[in-house]
Structure 1
Amino acid sequence: MPHPYVTYRPARLVKTATRWYVEYWYRVPEGLMEKHGEWKRFRVFEDINRHKSEEYADLLHKAVNRSLLNGYNPFENEKRFVAPDVVVADVSLNTALAQFIAHCTEKGLRKKSIQSYGVIVNFLKAYFLTGNKVYRPLAEFTKEDMKRFIFDLKKQKNWQNYTTNNYIQFTKTIFNWFVKEEYILKNPVQSIDQLPVNITKHKYYSDAVAEKIKATILKMDTELYEFIEFIYYTGTRPKSEARLLQVENILFDRKLLFIPAHISKNKTDDYISMGDDLIKLLATRKDQPADNYIFGGAKPRSQNYFASLYKPFKDKFALGADYTLYSWKHTRAIHLAQAGADPYQIMKLFRHSSLEITMKYLRDLGLGISDEINQKSKKF
């Protein structure tokens, strides 16, 4: 019979801020030492975090120690510790998903990112609740299981390929975290291929259409007009940046707009130079409380607030779904390039990480395509 400190170290109950588990160490058999070292740690979760009670935790703790004392050997009794696809932690899909969301919150991810992951986590729980599969060990889920999950949802939700690809990527990210945490060693989603999509270029407003839209909105919704003007001058993202900027982010004395890291697309503190037109637009905010939002006052506007206001105007001028509030940024890029602005200045304004990205962005807008070659060509 195994004896503590010779073949194993007695299990202990571990409680962290985000999860509980039972942990023990077992001496590695001679033939596997090169791979694992002399001792290997095992963590047992079962459904401890779903129950999260002292009584259940104590029962699991005692059960693990009793099994070890009675001769349980994880290397002999469990195929997963011998086969190439070893699994380190015995944890259900349900528990692992809960741990992932806790990790996202603890890591301080943006609220929008946590919500996005939350959607796919809820899809996974609901889909695999059939037959209580969600409580199966994570290691039992195969590529075929995950393909059925993705493509059944695609059919059920009538997703286009672009949306389906997003969910494939979200699911891959979640299972990559499971691998990192040693819940599993192989990601069953990793080799699921992305679906083909038609890549559309950035949409911008022609001068004629832009003038009609601006004139119509100005008569009916001053706040929406100012929001559009703000996007035009700053190039900020409507939902994740412009909507969440506060009065304290306007540095009038330095003629700068500060974009804090927690909302910045680059996840770093950024600054945007403010020209006279932008300063004039924001002048009324000078006397407002510093913690007010530039748009919305004491509370920010909801995520889809401005998009909903904008939709009737898009419909009025028969503009397709590709035309969005963000298209005003692309329109500004066209105007700057036509005015002869240095691409480096455009790079700084739009906070691109490299000039190469800016040049590609401008190319996608049809800029930098010279007509000179047509002037030099012979006629047919």
Structure 2
Amino acid sequence: MKNNKSVGVLFEQALNKKFESSISKKYKDNLRQVYNHFMEFLGSEAYSTPLKKLKTSQIEEFLKRYNSSATHYMNKRRDLNVLFNTACKSIDVNLQSVKRTESRRIKATLNLAYEKEQLKPVLEYLKGSHTNLYRCCLITYGCLLRSHEEIRLLTKKHFKANNTEIHLAGNENKGGRVRVVYVPDYVRQELDPVLDEIKRDDNIFSGKLRPFNNSYFTKQWNRERIKLLSHGVIYPKQTLYSFRHTAAIDIFRRTKDVYMVQKMMGHSSVVVTLKYLRSLGEFNSEELEAAAPKLW
């Protein structure tokens, strides 16, 4: 009977099902990793224990491996729960074994936005030090795209309307919807010569069909970050993502239009945008409360 299928069989089926969906490569890697580690942890029990017999205490013992931080622990707990819930659906049961494990509060970490007077020195340094990283940061700021899974994979064919627009399909951006992004003049001036030299399917950074690996920009930034910090050009909490945060703040301060920020950031809802801006210190809960409409 299907209800007696083992943890190992059902988790393997769940992993394959998630791989068939339109989730990002990074998400797939995370699911595969937690699957491999959990199967290793269970050992021979993985294929002899029915899913319904899997105990919360076993799962808690497994999650202790990830006690280095609350974020690490909760990320693994979340990924394991995704596989567990998918496995439960395949046998039409609703089990709470993972949800009953300890939940830990993650402390929010702020990627500090750049101050206006910092932008030019940072970008000028990168332009002279690492051309690809400079272009990535410029696109992150000017087009508000995400560096690793959106910008890194850009090819010539993504650029439309005389290179004034970037068109991303639903499976090419985090929002999961078709997205059209405006390309400012300062970004286009940098990219036009590059786009003129490559073929339609070539990646704009590698100049070839195959893009750089998914950790490419992270590694390049970490190298340059040490020098930028030593020269006092950036602060410790300023990161590659800070270019996107800085752009969001700039748009909001100039327009005071949350919906415009939502559209340009590609957020799924204005609630996400409000949380995003609040985390960047643009306004707090008291300000939101004060701005709420009054009945009388």
Q: Which category of TM-score, normalised to the shorter sequence, fits these structures?
A: 0.7 to 0.9
1:107-161 Cα deviation digits (max 9, x unpaired)? 34333222111000011011111xx22222222211111111111x124xxx311
Asked if the contact 1:261/1:267 (under 8 Å) is kept, the reply is yes
Q: For structure 2, list consecutive stretches of 5 or more residues without a partner in the other structure.
A: 285-296
Aligned residue number for residue 244 of structure 1 = 153
Which of residues 196, 213, 222 is equivalent to 1:302?
213
Larger Rg: 1
Give 1:320 shift: 6.9
Asked if the contact 2:77/2:98 (under 8 Å) is kept, the reply is yes
Separation in structure 2 between the aligned mates of residue 124 and residue 272 of structure 1, nearest angstrom: 41
Q: Which of the pair has the greater relative contact order for Cα pairs under 8 Å at 6+ separation?
A: 2
- Whether 2:293 is the aligned partner of 1:293: answer no
Aligned residue number for residue 73 of structure 2 = 164
Aligned residue number for residue 150 of structure 1 = 63
Hey, which bits of structure 1, 4+ residues long, moved more than 4 A? 319-322
The within-5 A match list for 1:195-344 is 195-253=104-162, 255-284=164-193, 285-298=195-208, 299-318=210-229, 322-340=237-255, 342-344=257-259
Aligned residue number for residue 355 of structure 1 = 270
* Partner SS for 1:257: strand
* Partner SS for 1:128: helix
Separation in structure 2 between the aligned mates of residue 145 and residue 191 of structure 1, nearest angstrom: 12
Asked if the contact 1:230/1:278 (under 8 Å) is kept, the reply is yes
1:5-46 Cα deviation digits (max 9, x unpaired)? xxxxxxxxxxxxxxxxxxxxxxxxxxxxxxxxxxxxx43xxx
- Residues 315 and 292 (structure 1), Cα distance of their counterparts in 2 relative to 1, 3 Å cut: same
- Whether 2:15 is the aligned partner of 1:101: answer yes
Separation in structure 2 between the aligned mates of residue 360 and residue 101 of structure 1, nearest angstrom: 31
1:170-194 Cα deviation digits (max 9, x unpaired)? 1111111121111754231122232
Richer in strand (by share): 1
- Residues 321 and 262 (structure 1), Cα distance of their counterparts in 2 relative to 1, 3 Å cut: farther
Separation in structure 1 between the aligned mates of residue 187 and residue 169 of structure 2, nearest angstrom: 19
- Residues 364 and 280 (structure 1), Cα distance of their counterparts in 2 relative to 1, 3 Å cut: same
Instruction: Please report the TM-score for the alignment, with normalisation by the length of structure 2.
Output: 0.85
**Which piece of structure 1 moves more, 105-114 or 285-294?**
105-114
Q: Which amino acid aligns with 1:305?
A: Y
Richer in helix (by share): 2
Aligned residue number for residue 176 of structure 1 = 85
Asked if the contact 1:252/1:279 (under 8 Å) is kept, the reply is no
* Partner SS for 2:85: helix
Instruction: Please report the TM-score for the alignment, with normalisation by the length of structure 1.
Output: 0.67
1:72-95 Cα deviation digits (max 9, x unpaired)? xxxxxxxxxxxxxxxx2x222222
- Residues 186 and 339 (structure 1), Cα distance of their counterparts in 2 relative to 1, 3 Å cut: closer
Q: For structure 1, list consecutive stretches of 5 or more residues without a partner in the other structure.
A: 1-41, 44-87, 370-380
Between the aligned residues of both structures, percent identity stands at: 21
Separation in structure 1 between the aligned mates of residue 202 and residue 252 of structure 2, nearest angstrom: 34
How many residue pairs match? The answer is 277
Aligned residue number for residue 75 of structure 1 = none
Q: Which amino acid aligns with 1:326?
A: Y
Asked if the contact 1:161/1:196 (under 8 Å) is kept, the reply is yes
- Whether 2:45 is the aligned partner of 1:133: answer yes
Aligned residue number for residue 55 of structure 1 = none
Give 1:310 shift: 1.2
The within-5 A match list for 1:114-125 is 114-125=28-39
Separation in structure 2 between the aligned mates of residue 335 and residue 235 of structure 1, nearest angstrom: 11
Give 1:362 shift: 2.4
**Which piece of structure 1 moves more, 134-143 or 173-182?**
134-143
Asked if the contact 2:277/2:283 (under 8 Å) is kept, the reply is yes
Give 1:293 shift: 1.4
